[in-house]
Amino acid sequence: MKKNKIALLALLGLGLFSAGTASAVVNTIYVVGSTAFRPVFYAAMKTGGGTNLVFDGGNPATVIGGTDANSSSQIVYSNMIASTPTVINCSWTGSEAGIAGITGNSLADVTIPAAFNGGTNTTQTPNLPGAPAYFLNPGNNYVGQTYTTTPDISLADTSVLSSQTAKTAVHDMGIVGVIPFLMAKNKNSSPGVNSTWTNLVNISYPQLFYLAKSGAQSGNFFTGKSGDSASVYLVGRNRGSGTRVNALLAPYVYPTQPHQYVIQNTVYEPASTAFAGAPLTLTLDPSPTAFNDSQVIETPNGDGFDSGSGVGKILHCDGTAATSSVLVGYISVADFGSYASGAVQLTVDGVAESDGAVCNGAYSFYGHEHLIEKNSPSSYAHSFATSLLTALPSACPSGATLTDANQSYAINPSLMVADKPTSSLGGAGDTGYPSQ
């Protein structure tokens, strides 16, 4: 059965279209990219009442596949666009993986040794999870991850110029949001047993350089107190992540592989058990709630998680039994709030993250969300992408001002009074410090 007919039958079952439209064409648009920005995309799809500029009549979309939540990694929306039934099939793969995905190419990840930390894999260099992208299967009522195709659109936390992917293979349509990121340390319900954890309150970019470039560093390097001897370890994302690019560009580590760490409950398993040959992904199995010093191990070749949820879950682990270890991770505001309960935010270069600090240029750990489409998209996919140039900034949480202490997971670009410079080497605002 053809994809468009299957999609239409699903919409009919939800009562969105009448039986009289059963012979009509259904346009399907495939979207991938930033996990940090998916709450904004969700808001744009689900907001009606005339504020949504995507669907006919300003009506909200209906979710017909995946979990109806702004944190869903795979989700399928449906509604009418230009009087045509339209399906938006999303697989949030990470920014770099998304850019690779819309070129139709894979992107090799790091080499993983056989059965690393108890996993079942053999030695291999798998493709990044999400390149190619796997979508909820239209041939199975959008259940399972057994369907792959070249996506039409990707959202990325950095510009194409900073990407690992060929620069001529895609079209960067522009910036649709600003994504703040955080540095945070692991939860610790008994901080008195680890003075490094207590005294570690800030990360500077020079300190992050050595932490990522050379591996674990002694606590006194960060705190300036000679008695703080616990080792500080970096927890982060894989090569498919725009969050990782943002974290490593500023201290000039990117594109070199960083030193990153996990705890022993982290293993490599297939990203999808329903798809033969699916790439391996780093997962917590089962999700631990605490860790000790002996459980902190380095990942193969600086690998990390394909989603910020993995970093958040690691930071959520209680270090009450870790007297000589502190875990520090980089993470989006959205994923920190959803997954890192109990973890503690750090200042970056002495500044705490807030909407006001980002808008005013005082806080520089943020990225620009770029809307990127593949070369030669269909007319309806291009029209949809064009509508997102207005809809996505409008869907960013409102209210950010120069004095706003809130921590929005995205900021409308129009609110930026100071911003990072455009560079021919780093792309549109990927590197450097903000200025007015």
Asked if residue 221 and residue 93 are part of one domain, the reply reads no
State the sign of the Cα–Cα–Cα–Cα dihedral 39, 410, 94, 207: negative
pLDDT for 400: 58
Looking only at the bridges linking them, the beta strands covering 231-235 and 325-332 are parallel
pLDDT for 252: 82
Asked if residue 323 and residue 186 are part of one domain, the reply reads yes
Asked if residue 221 and residue 201 are part of one domain, the reply reads yes
Asked if residue 398 and residue 385 are part of one domain, the reply reads yes
Residue scoring higher pLDDT (272 or 304): 304
Lowest-confidence region among 89-98, 105-114, 254-263 = 105-114
Residue scoring higher pLDDT (184 or 145): 184
For residue 19, what are the domain limits? 3-115+128-179+369-428
Query: 204 in a domain, yes or no?
Result: yes
pLDDT for 274: 60
Residue with tokens 């495939």: 30
pLDDT at 241 over 60: yes
Residue scoring higher pLDDT (10 or 146): 146
Lowest-confidence region among 58-72, 97-111, 323-337, 377-391 = 97-111
Last residue of a domain, one of 360, 387, 407: 360
Asked if residue 90 and residue 79 are part of one domain, the reply reads yes
Q: Determine the residue type at 51.
A: T
CA separation for the pair 37, 393 (Å, rounded) = 11
Asked if residue 406 and residue 299 are part of one domain, the reply reads no
Cβ-based burial of 359 (10 A; exposed 0-12, middle 13-18, buried ≥19): buried
pLDDT at 107 over 60: yes
Q: How many domains does the chain have?
A: 2
Q: What is the CATH number of the domain that holds 192?
A: 3.40.190.10
Asked if residue 83 and residue 42 are part of one domain, the reply reads yes
Asked if residue 133 and residue 232 are part of one domain, the reply reads no
Question: What does pTM read for this prediction?
Answer: 0.90
Cα of 355 vs its chain's centroid, Å: 19
Asked if residue 175 and residue 68 are part of one domain, the reply reads yes
CA separation for the pair 23, 9 (Å, rounded) = 10
Query: 435 in a domain, yes or no?
Result: no
pLDDT, mean of residues 242-270? 90
Query: 398 in a domain, yes or no?
Result: yes
Nearest to 119 by CA among 344, 325, 282: 282
Query: 434 in a domain, yes or no?
Result: no
- 342-369 pLDDT, tens digit per residue, is 999 999 999 999 999 999 999 999 999 9
Nearest to 315 by CA among 300, 303, 301, 305: 305
Last residue of a domain, one of 341, 360, 379: 360
Asked if residue 389 and residue 282 are part of one domain, the reply reads no
| Rounded (10°) angle between helices 205-214 and 242-249 | 110
